[in-house]
C-alpha cells in the first residue's frame, strides 16, 4: 500500500460518460483512490475495481450504463473479488435501483459524495451514498498530487443548477448551485500552473453564475474571478464552460475585451430560436434578447467564436418554431454546435407533455445539423491562411507531428519535429479537414 507503483498496487479502471465535469470528477476520484494504493489502468480485464462515472442527461446516455454493466457480468463471475462502482448522475438519480437491477454492482456514489469512496470501499460508509451533504467534498479530497500534468486542464469552480429548464435533469442530479471559494480556486490554478499547465478551462453547469467573496472582501462575479486568474504568471489561456445567457454579466463581457488570456471562444447554449418554445422550456429569455447579447459580446471581442446547444422536437414544437431556430442559427453564425433530439426525462416538468412525432423530430434534427455543419465548415475554411497560436497537447500519429488547439479550440495538426508538448507555437493554417485543421510552424 505504501508503494502505489509496486507489485502490490491495485488497479482501477474508470470509464467516464457525459460532460467535462464528469471528466474532472473522474480525475479527482482517481486521486482519492490513489491515496488508497490504487493505480489507474486502461485495461478493464486486469482491474481490481471498475468505476463507471455516468451521465443521465438523455435516455440513451443512461441506458449505456446498463449495457456496460451487462458486459461486465462474465468478468465478475470469473473474479468475484472484482469491485464494481457506479458514480455520477445516474447514480444520483437512480441510487439503490441500480443494485436492484444489476446485483453485481458493489457501490453507488453520487457526484457530491465521492470523497467518501475510499471509506465505502473499506466498508466504513454505506455502499450507497447519494445524499447532498453539508460538507464540501473538495475539503475532503486529497491535494492534486500528480507531479507533472498535461498542458491543458479542467478546474471545477461551480456546481449544480437552480435554473430548472423544463427538460433537464441536472438540477436534480447535481443539486443546488454552489460556487467554490476564490482562495481555493486560485490555489488550485497556481498549483496546476506549477505542474506545467498553461491552459485552464473553468467548469460549472452554470459557470458564469459563479460568485463569491474576493480577496478584497467584496462580492466578486465571474468576470472578476477571471481577472484574478489572469494575474497568474505562466497561465497563458483561460476558457470556461458552460454558460447560461442570463448570467452573461457586463463585467464578464468586458473581461473578454480586457483579459488577453481569456480565449475568444464562447459556448452559449440557446436550445431554440422560438420564443414560444423558449418559454415552455423555462429558459427565461427571448430569441431577440439572445441575439442582442451576441451583438454586445462581439462588440467587446469582434473575433469571438460562438458555439451552442440545440434541442429539436421539444413538446409542442411546430414547423414555425423550428424555422425560427433555423433563422436564429443563420443570424448568429456558429463555429460549431451540439444538437439533440428531445429525450423525455423522468422527474422533469416536460416529462409528461405530448411528444412531437419521432420521424418529424428526426427530420428537423437532420435539417438543423446540415445547416450547422455548413457553418462549421465555413468557419474552418476562414482559418486557412491565418496565423494562429496553437498549444501542443500531444504528438500525432505521423512521426514529427504535433496536435494542439488553436485559440478557437480547433484541433490543429502540425509537422513540428523539434517541438515539445506544452509549446505555444505560431502556426500558419494550410488546409481544413473534417473536424480539424492542418498547419505549418510560422516564424
Residues that bind ligand F3S (CB under 6 A): 18-19, 21-22, 55-57, 88-89, 169-170, 173-174
| CB of 19 or CB of 99, closer to ligand F3S | 19
Is 198 a binding residue for ligand SAH by CB under 6 A? The answer is: no
Residues 6+ apart with CB under 8 A from 145: 31, 34
- Residues across the chain: 443
With beta carbons less than 8 A apart as the criterion, state whether 145 and 34 touch: yes
| CB of 162 or CB of 330, closer to ligand SAH | 162
Tell me the three state secondary structure of residue 412: strand
State which of residues 16, 205, 261, 308 lies at the interface with ligand SF4 (CB under 6 A): 205
State which of residues 34, 171, 175, 204 lies at the interface with ligand SF4 (CB under 6 A): 171
Minimum separation from the CB atom of position 377 to ligand F3S (A): 27
Site string for ligand SF4, 257-286 (x = CB under 6 A): ------------------------------
Minimum separation from the CB atom of position 105 to ligand SF4 (A): 26
State which of residues 38, 167, 265, 392 lies at the interface with ligand SAH (CB under 6 A): 167
* Nearest C-alpha neighbor of 47 from the set 31, 61, 30: 30
171 binds, among ligand F3S, ligand SAH, ligand SF4, none (CB under 5 to 8 A by kind): ligand SF4
| CB of 60 or CB of 257, closer to ligand F3S | 60
Task: Return the C-alpha torsion angle 201, 108, 340, 352, nearest 10.
Answer: -130
Minimum separation from the CB atom of position 22 to ligand F3S (A): 4
> From CA 342, how far away is CA 120, in angstroms rounded?
36
343 binds, among ligand SF4, ligand SAH, ligand F3S, none (CB under 5 to 8 A by kind): ligand SAH
With beta carbons less than 8 A apart as the criterion, state whether 439 and 429 touch: yes
Residues 6+ apart with CB under 8 A from 442: 387, 426, 427, 428
Is 334 a binding residue for ligand SAH by CB under 6 A? The answer is: no
Task: Please give the residues from 344 up to 403 whose contact with ligand SF4 meets the rule CB under 6 A.
Answer: none
Distances from the Cα of 203 to the Cα of 93, 136, 260, 269, angstroms: 21, 17, 19, 15
> From CA 198, how far away is CA 318, in angstroms rounded?
46
Distances from the Cα of 359 to the Cα of 85, 295, 369, angstroms: 37, 35, 15
Q: What is the 3-state secondary structure (H, E, C) of 171-212?
A: HHHCCCCEECCHHHHHHHHHHHHHCCCCEEEEECCCHHHCEE
With beta carbons less than 8 A apart as the criterion, state whether 263 and 238 touch: yes
| CB of 272 or CB of 376, closer to ligand SF4 | 272
Task: Return the C-alpha torsion angle 362, 365, 366, 372, nearest 10.
Answer: -170
Is 224 a binding residue for ligand SAH by CB under 6 A? The answer is: no
Minimum separation from the CB atom of position 309 to ligand SF4 (A): 8
> From CA 84, how far away is CA 61, in angstroms rounded?
19
Minimum separation from the CB atom of position 281 to ligand SF4 (A): 8
| CB of 240 or CB of 342, closer to ligand SAH | 342
Minimum separation from the CB atom of position 92 to ligand F3S (A): 8
Side-chain half-sphere exposure of 193, counting CA atoms within 13 A? 20
Task: Please give the residues from 9 up to 68 whose contact with ligand SF4 meets the rule CB under 6 A.
Answer: none
> From CA 341, how far away is CA 358, in angstroms rounded?
9
Is 165 a binding residue for ligand SF4 by CB under 6 A? The answer is: yes
21 binds, among ligand SF4, ligand SAH, ligand F3S, none (CB under 5 to 8 A by kind): ligand F3S
> From CA 45, how far away is CA 251, in angstroms rounded?
50
18 binds, among ligand SAH, ligand SF4, ligand F3S, none (CB under 5 to 8 A by kind): ligand F3S
| CB of 28 or CB of 76, closer to ligand F3S | 28
Q: The C-alpha cell of 342 is what?
A: 428531445
Contact footprint for ligand SAH (CB under 6 A): 57-58, 167-168, 170, 205-206, 242, 244, 269, 271, 309, 311, 340, 342-343, 345
Contact footprint for ligand SF4 (CB under 6 A): 161, 163-165, 168, 170-171, 205-206, 244
Amino acid at each position: 500500500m505504501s508503494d502505489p507503483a509496486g507489485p502490490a498496487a491495485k488497479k482501477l479502471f474508470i470509464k467516464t460518460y457525459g460532460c467535462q465535469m464528469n471528466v474532472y470528477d473522474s480525475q479527482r476520484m482517481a486521486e482519492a483512490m490513489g491515496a488508497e494504493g490504487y493505480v489507474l489502468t486502461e485495461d478493464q480485464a486486469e482491474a481490481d475495481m471498475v468505476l463507471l462515472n455516468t451521465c443521465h442527461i438523455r435516455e440513451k446516455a443512461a441506458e449505456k450504463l446498463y449495457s456496460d454493466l451487462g458486459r461486465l457480468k462474465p468478468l465478475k463471475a470469473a473474479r468475484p473479488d472484482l469491485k464494481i462502482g457506479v458514480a455520477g448522475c445516474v447514480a444520483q438519480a437512480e441510487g439503490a435501483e441500480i443494485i436492484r437491477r444489476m446485483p453485481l454492482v458493489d457501490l453507488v456514489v453520487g457526484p457530491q459524495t465521492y470523497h467518501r469512496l475510499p471509506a465505502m470501499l473499506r466498508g466504513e460508509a454505506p455502499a450507497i451514498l447519494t445524499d447532498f451533504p453539508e460538507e464540501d467534498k473538495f475539503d475532503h479530497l486529497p491535494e492534486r498530487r500528480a507531479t507533472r500534468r498535461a498542458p491543458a486542464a479542467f478546474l471545477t469552480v461551480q456546481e449544480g443548477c437552480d435554473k430548472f429548464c423544463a427538460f433537464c435533469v441536472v438540477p436534480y442530479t447535481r443539486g443546488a448551485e454552489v460556487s467554490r471559494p476564490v482562495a481555493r480556486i486560485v490555489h488550485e490554478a497556481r498549483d496546476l500552473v506549477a505542474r506545467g499547465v498553461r491552459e485552464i478551462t473553468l467548469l460549472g453547469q452554470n459557470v458564469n453564475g459563479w460568485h463569491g467573496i474576493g480577496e478584497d472582501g467584496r462580492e466578486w462575479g465571474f468576470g472578476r474571478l477571471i481577472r484574478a486568474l489572469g494575474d497568474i504568471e505562466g497561465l497563458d489561456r483561460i476558457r470556461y464552460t458552460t454558460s447560461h445567457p442570463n448570467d452573461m454579466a457586463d463585467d464578464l463581457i468586458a473581461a473578454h475585451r480586457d483579459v488577453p488570456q481569456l480565449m475568444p471562444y464562447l459556448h452559449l447554449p440557446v436550445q431554440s430560436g422560438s420564443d414560444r418554445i423558449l418559454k415552455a422550456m423555462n429558459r427565461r429569455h427571448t430569441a431577440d434578447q439572445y441575439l442582442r447579447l451576441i451583438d454586445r459580446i462581439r462588440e467587446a471581442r469582434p473575433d469571438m467564436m460562438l458555439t451552442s446547444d440545440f434541442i429539436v422536437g421539444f413538446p409542442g414544437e411546430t414547423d414555425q418554431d423550428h424555422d425560427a431556430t433555423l433563422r436564429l442559427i443563420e443570424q448568429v453564425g456558429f463555429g460549431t454546435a451540439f444538437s439533440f433530439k428531445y429525450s423525455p426525462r423522468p422527474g422533469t416538468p416536460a416529462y409528461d407533455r405530448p411528444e412531437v412525432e419521432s420521424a418529424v423530430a428526426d427530420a428537423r434534427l437532420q435539417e438543423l445539423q446540415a445547416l450547422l455543419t455548413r457553418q462549421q465548415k465555413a468557419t474552418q475554411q476562414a482559418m486557412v491562411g491565418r496565423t494562429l497560436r496553437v498549444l501542443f497537447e500531444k504528438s500525432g500519429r505521423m512521426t514529427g507531428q504535433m496536435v494542439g488547439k488553436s485559440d478557437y479550440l480547433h484541433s490543429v495538426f502540425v509537422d513540428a519535429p523539434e517541438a515539445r508538448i506544452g509549446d505555444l507555437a505560431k502556426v500558419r493554417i494550410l488546409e481544413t479537414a473534417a473536424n480539424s485543421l492542418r498547419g505549418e510552424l510560422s516564424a
